[in-house]
Chain A
Amino acid sequence: MSSYEARFKVWRGDVQGGDLEDFKVEVNDGEVVLDIIHRLQATQAPDLAVRWNCKAGKCGSCSAEINGRPRLMCMTRMSVFTRDETITVTPLRTFPVIRDLVTDVGFNYQKAREVPAFVPPAGLGPGEYRMFQEDVDRSQEFRKCIECFLCQNTCHVVRDHEENKQAFAGPRFLMRVAELDMHPLDAAEETGLDRKRTAQDEYGLGYCNITKCCTEVCPEDIKITDNALIPLKERAVDRKYDPLVWLGSKIRRRSS
């Protein structure tokens, strides 16, 4: 096993201000960035704040920006860097900083609350649900989401424009709308809730300019843009910009 000394710059500070701090730290075979942060805690900076949990890429807690790129610290192997490279680790730059590498991700929880939950179909009790694999595949892909919020962090709509946080739910929660709209048994429509329309009217789908950074940073390899956001845009077009559909629904309403 070989080990070497790496140079790190870690952002330390809080909402009052802060700076990149230099560290030299031992690195061993097979380690990931989170291991190094832990070594800093144990040996040089016991109060270095970092959020983490499973350390296996399953919980989505240890999101940070490593050399400027949004990533999970537990899934970024040290072997992707050269030995003489200085590795910069900063907190997510879209959310308010709390301390060191920890940010306030409350924005996401607030947006999660604004998306109406799954509406169970009337007349089907527990155990009576029948769904086919091909019908659940699409929503299942979105449910792989570990809520690391890297997509929310990297999306320029809110990253570069604080003021858009009001109107825009972000890729994670637009994907949630898509997931529910594609759920084979979601009965929102029967209760008068049009998820396709709300995607645009309430969650700011129109702000998305499909530049695909959400897909690029997704540690679960969910094709957020191609499989959730664009299909959702198309569904919104069905509702709002398709004269044929509009005409069809008028005629059907008249004849029924």
Chain B
Amino acid sequence: MSVVDRQEWDVVVVGAGGAGLRAAIEARERGARTAVICKSLFGKAHTVMAEGGIAAAMANVNEHDNWQVHFRDTLRGGKFLNQWRMAELHAQEAPERVWELETWGALFDRTKDGKISQRNFGGHEYPRLAHVGDRTGLELIRTLQQKIVALQQEDFKETGDYESGLKVFQECTVTRVLKDGDRVSGVFAYDRESGRFFVLEAPAVVVATGGIGKSFKVTSNSWEYTGDGHALALLAGAPLLNMEFVQFHPTGMVWPPSVKGILVTESVRGDGGVLRNSEGKRFMFDYIPDVFKEKYAESEEEGDRWYEDPDHNRRPPELLPRDEVARAINSEVKAGRGSPHGGVFLDVSTRMPAEVIRRRLPSMYHQFKELADVDITAEAMEVGPTCHYVMGGIAVDSETAAARGVPGLFAAGEVAGGMHGSNRLGGNSLSDLLVFGRRAGWHAAEYAAGVAERPEVAEDQVNLASAEALRPFAAETEGEAGPPENPYTLHQELQQTMNDLVGIIRREGEMEQALQKLAELRVRARRAGVEGHRQFNPGWHLALDLRNMLLVSECVARAALERSESRGGHTREDHPTMDRAWRNVNLLCSLADPTGGLAATDPARGQIRLTRETTESIRPDLLALFEKEELVKYLAEEELYE
């Protein structure tokens, strides 16, 4: 085996979405030599898909807004399962993070008095989302990208080399986080273009790889979302938290089939769009759960008045948190009141003049026109739930974003768990990226600077990682068990399994079936073979990603089977109500074989071990932000007495 190229850095950031770039900027500004590795081209990360906005209590539109209200909304949305300290930091720091973007050149939409405009969104009490039309994610990623370029220009002035202090390795995939004893020592990666392996040695690694949506058939996520970071952390010995909570966005496109799942932004509803079933009824009024009864309008008239006069009317139920809306749509379709292609109708055409729609929702207009031949200014869209976000993720320390149990490993963004509890509010992800991306970069740089002796990367770890990555090419020669498996077929079967058996509504028997199927796929995936060579070979890339998707899918299925209640992004048909006893219980997934081996194929045992953990109780002054009557609905008896 050829010698693998090695480089030394202080901090390595895996992932170049919002969280990864924000972490890299922070680490570099704090003096750490920082490398960013991403699977796509620089600036193409999935963050560009975020449409609605960045939630931050700047109070530009409604003066009553402040971080306490934002915190309260976040906890309500997450059904009180959130890692409360994260939610607190998030609500407090989000405005600064947004303002900071302006100093880097971001151009948000403006209010009349020249401040950043803010829009309404599901679950947010006040208009809170800083936005740019419906392409906020693009603005965010571009701003961070350009800030990185600005830092590189500074480095160039000083050293004559753009990449001396901050380098982006684009179109490279990390397959292993390497360790020296307990500590992180670097990452093993391959260059997608050439297929060449390389090692970046670094005492601190920030994982910011996003989500897991590509394990599901109908998803708004891009191909990159194969749960790489989740799997890397698991394999490095860090536990994953509450993986059962997967958010199904209520409004994805349902037709034509090739675009099924592509997101229809929540701003459509925030700006006045309404949901109707095939009978033309605004059905959301029938689905307001008890815990939200006081907060939402009871009649269409009141809901409509709220857009003009939010202080004296309650918001329409189309703006309930995403889990509620997704479930409602699911029920309507099941009851036979769906649209022709199995969704419901989302209509703005009768609510706003065509001109306003084109201005406020330009990319939605464009998307439907181009991909579905639907003119949203003249007719209703057909929408249905689509897998959108995973609330679960790497268990991290709230302040430092450090992964538990593995010194030197940090995580931020969607790949980190805890912040959003059981359900994320729209707009809270972009602010999450910024707040915790910065914190991860900051503490990673600090950690790296404080390391007395750089950890070493042992040759045998590199050889093992190389062998693992090359396995798909050798599959053909192992022939006893039949011909090699097609990775594309395996992926499709996995997506179908997760969609059908661990989807939006879950049942015990189906999830057991899913675990069986995953075990079978795991065996077959070991024989996934590819043709051709290592240079930009998508079949090979997919074969390698399968390991991660299978690991993460098992976490989701296993945790979902364990949690016998319905809460946020986890809905059990056999346990349809929220159970206060589960409020303070976290489910942690870790590798069944702590040595990191993946040989276990026994479906009952599998690769993942679950442990329960009781969460730290919420600080009293934060609890005091809620009415007693509300807390009674969420908190267990003994928590209330404290």
Asked whether the complex places CB atoms of A and B closer than 8 A, the reply is yes
Name A residues whose Cβ lies closer than 8 Å to a Cβ of B: 14, 28-32, 35, 41-42, 46-61, 75, 77, 98-100, 102, 104-105, 109, 112-113, 116-118, 120, 124-127, 129-133, 136, 139-140, 143-147, 180, 183, 186, 221
Say yes or no: B44 contacts A60, CB within 8 Å.
yes
The list of the 5 closest CB pairs from A to B, nearest first, reads A30-B256, A118-B105, A47-B532, A117-B150, A130-B114
A57-B48 contact in complex given A47-B532, A118-B104, A130-B115, C-beta closer than 8 Å: no
Query: Can you sample 7 A-B contacts with CB below 8 Å?
Result: A41-B539, A48-B538, A59-B44, A61-B41, A139-B107, A140-B107, A144-B138
Docked CA distance A55–B114 (Å): 35
Contact of A143 among B46, B110, B139, B255 (CB under 8 A): B139
Cβ of B162 < 8 Å from any Cβ of A?
yes
Say yes or no: B532 contacts A46, CB within 8 Å.
yes
Chain B residues 40 to 83 lying within 8 A of chain A, measured CB to CB, are 40-44, 46, 48-49, 58
When C-beta atoms are compared, the residue in chain A nearest to B530 turns out to be A46
Q: Given the complex, which residues of B lie within 8 Å of A146, measured CB to CB? A: 48, 138
A77-B371 contact in complex given A130-B113, A133-B110, A143-B107, C-beta closer than 8 Å: yes
Chain B residues 136 to 162 lying within 8 A of chain A, measured CB to CB, are 137-139, 142, 146-147, 149-150, 152-153, 156, 162
Say yes or no: B44 contacts A56, CB within 8 Å.
no
Contact of A42 among B99, B102, B488 (CB under 8 A): B488
Say yes or no: B135 contacts A117, CB within 8 Å.
no
Q: Given the complex, which residues of A lie within 8 Å of B113, measured CB to CB? A: 130
Q: Given the complex, which residues of B lie within 8 Å of A59, measured CB to CB? A: 40, 44, 48-49, 222
Docked CA distance A58–B532 (Å): 31
Say yes or no: B102 contacts A30, CB within 8 Å.
no
Q: Given the complex, which residues of B lie within 8 Å of A129, measured CB to CB? A: 99, 102-103
Contact of A99 among B41, B263, B535, B540 (CB under 8 A): B535
When C-beta atoms are compared, the residue in chain A nearest to B102 turns out to be A129
Say yes or no: A53 contacts B259, CB within 8 Å.
no
Say yes or no: B538 contacts A127, CB within 8 Å.
no
Docked CA distance A60–B489 (Å): 27
Say yes or no: A105 contacts B147, CB within 8 Å.
no
Cβ of B372 < 8 Å from any Cβ of A?
yes
Cβ of B524 < 8 Å from any Cβ of A?
no
Docked CA distance A104–B191 (Å): 13
Say yes or no: B367 contacts A47, CB within 8 Å.
no
B383 to chain A, nearest CB (A): 14
Say yes or no: A143 contacts B532, CB within 8 Å.
no
Cβ of B292 < 8 Å from any Cβ of A?
no
Q: Given the complex, which residues of B lie within 8 Å of A143, measured CB to CB? A: 107, 132, 138-139, 142
When C-beta atoms are compared, the residue in chain B nearest to A54 turns out to be B222
Chain B residues 101 to 147 lying within 8 A of chain A, measured CB to CB, are 102-105, 107, 109-110, 113-115, 132-133, 135, 137-139, 142, 146-147
* Further contacts, 14 of them, CB under 8 A, given A31-B256, A41-B539: A42-B486, A49-B538, A54-B44, A56-B263, A59-B40, A59-B49, A61-B40, A98-B535, A99-B535, A109-B42, A129-B103, A130-B113, A136-B109, A143-B142
B547 to chain A, nearest CB (A): 18
Say yes or no: B538 contacts A47, CB within 8 Å.
yes
Q: Give the one of B103, B107, B146, B539 with max A CB within 10 A.
A: B107
A30-B257 contact in complex given A42-B488, A47-B532, A130-B114, C-beta closer than 8 Å: yes
Cβ of B363 < 8 Å from any Cβ of A?
yes
A126-B49 contact in complex given A41-B538, A47-B538, C-beta closer than 8 Å: no
A57-B367 contact in complex given A31-B258, A118-B150, C-beta closer than 8 Å: yes
A49-B536 contact in complex given A29-B257, A30-B256, A144-B135, C-beta closer than 8 Å: yes
Cβ of B366 < 8 Å from any Cβ of A?
yes
CB 8 Å contact bits of B214-244 with A (1 = contact, 0 = none): 0000000011100000000000000000000
Chain B residues 497 to 549 lying within 8 A of chain A, measured CB to CB, are 530-533, 535-540
Cβ of B562 < 8 Å from any Cβ of A?
no
- Interface size class on chain B is 35 or more
B359 to chain A, nearest CB (A): 11
A133-B96 contact in complex given A30-B257, A58-B49, A109-B42, C-beta closer than 8 Å: no
A58-B138 contact in complex given A46-B530, A183-B107, C-beta closer than 8 Å: yes
Cβ of B311 < 8 Å from any Cβ of A?
no
A153 to chain B, nearest CB (A): 14
Q: Given the complex, which residues of B lie within 8 Å of A48, measured CB to CB? A: 538
Q: Given the complex, which residues of B lie within 8 Å of A139, measured CB to CB? A: 107
Docked CA distance A234–B262 (Å): 41
CB 8 Å contact bits of B303-342 with A (1 = contact, 0 = none): 0000000000000000000000000000000000000000
Docked CA distance A50–B536 (Å): 8
Q: Given the complex, which residues of A lie within 8 Å of B372, measured CB to CB? A: 30
Contact of B153 among A14, A105, A113, A180 (CB under 8 A): A113
Docked CA distance A28–B259 (Å): 12
A53-B132 contact in complex given A58-B138, A117-B146, C-beta closer than 8 Å: no
Q: Given the complex, which residues of A lie within 8 Å of B44, measured CB to CB? A: 53-54, 59-61, 147
Docked CA distance A51–B541 (Å): 12
Q: Given the complex, which residues of B lie within 8 Å of A105, measured CB to CB? A: 41
A55-B262 contact in complex given A99-B535, A132-B114, A140-B107, C-beta closer than 8 Å: yes
Contact of B41 among A32, A51, A140 (CB under 8 A): A51
Q: Given the complex, which residues of A lie within 8 Å of B613, measured CB to CB? A: none
Q: Given the complex, which residues of A lie within 8 Å of B142, measured CB to CB? A: 143, 145, 147
B367 to chain A, nearest CB (A): 6
B240 to chain A, nearest CB (A): 25
Docked CA distance A120–B371 (Å): 39
A211 to chain B, nearest CB (A): 25
Cβ of B100 < 8 Å from any Cβ of A?
yes
B236 to chain A, nearest CB (A): 26
Cβ of B370 < 8 Å from any Cβ of A?
yes
Cβ of B203 < 8 Å from any Cβ of A?
no
A50 to chain B, nearest CB (A): 7
A175 to chain B, nearest CB (A): 13
Say yes or no: B370 contacts A57, CB within 8 Å.
yes
Say yes or no: B371 contacts A75, CB within 8 Å.
yes
Docked CA distance A102–B262 (Å): 24
A163 to chain B, nearest CB (A): 23
Say yes or no: B538 contacts A46, CB within 8 Å.
yes
Q: Given the complex, which residues of B lie within 8 Å of A140, measured CB to CB? A: 107, 109, 132-133
Docked CA distance A96–B363 (Å): 31
